[in-house]
Amino acid sequence: MAAREGEDDAKAAVRQESWQALQDAGAARFPGVRGRIPNFTGAERAAERLAGLPEWERAAVVKSNPDSPQWPVRTRAVAGGKRLYMAVPRLAEEAPFLLLEAERLDVPPRTATSIKGSARHARPVALTEMERVDLIVCGSVAVDRDGRRVGKGGGFSDLEFGLLAEAGLVDERTAIATTVHPVQVVEGPLPETGHDFRVDVVVTPEEVLRTPAPGRPRGILRDHLTPEKAAAVPALRTL
């Protein structure tokens, strides 16, 4: 447990450094950076660069985080006819993901893919209803050149990945990308735990960084979950 606490402290320090770097660079955007996946200047250009990659072009099914810097990514996915999954906040429902499909929408993709819009316009789906995911786009507070990432600290991106992996909905063919500002890319190595996944591709407004073959857990590491968190995620009981 002491090692885990030390890892948590190290990740907390990385977050503070990254948030401060964004502020110092004048790259922080509404609603601010601290305590969240930070919205950054150039998020739209990063989404455009991601959309030009073969991993994007091949993907029919995309899973994305709901945070502000990846909103342009989600908009492009739905506008381009891809099926988009987003997680229900804190995975707190029996149907833990939301599905957005352009042909089922009566509002523009940008409206439907906001956090509020997805709650209104997406269809909740259980793990048993979902299709295999071709591309995961995740938000990051910091990422290194070997694909290690640090999120905002809730652990839900890793838990979402574990759920999908255990359900057979992501595998070694699933690409994982993150879009970030250049100051969020660090030399590393960043602190990493057994339940963390690495990304294949880091996309900034200016460049694309391809990482070595990423590490990714095969499922949920239940001994890494607190009893309270395990009890709060209904989908864990169905696996």
Domains, the chain, ordered by start: 2-238 (3.40.50.10420)
Using DSSP's 3-state secondary structure scheme, residue 60 falls into coil
Average pLDDT over residues 223-235: 80
Q: Which residue, 212, 41, 229, 214, is CA-closest to 136? A: 214
Q: Which residue, 100, 199, 103, 105, is CA-closest to 148? A: 199
| Reported confidence tier of residue 4, pLDDT bands at 50, 70, 90 | low
Least confident window among 37-46, 69-78, 184-193: 184-193
Q: How much is the pLDDT for 111?
A: 98
| Distance of alpha carbon 25 from alpha carbon 153, whole angstroms | 23
| Reported confidence tier of residue 2, pLDDT bands at 50, 70, 90 | very low
| Distance of alpha carbon 232 from alpha carbon 228, whole angstroms | 6
Q: Is the pLDDT of residue 205 over 60?
A: yes
Here the tokens at position 155 are 């652990």
130-174 pLDDT, tens digit each: 999 999 999 999 999 999 999 998 878 999 999 999 999 999 999
| Reported confidence tier of residue 118, pLDDT bands at 50, 70, 90 | very high
Helices then strands (H, E): number in the chain? 9, 11
Q: How much is the pLDDT for 5?
A: 59
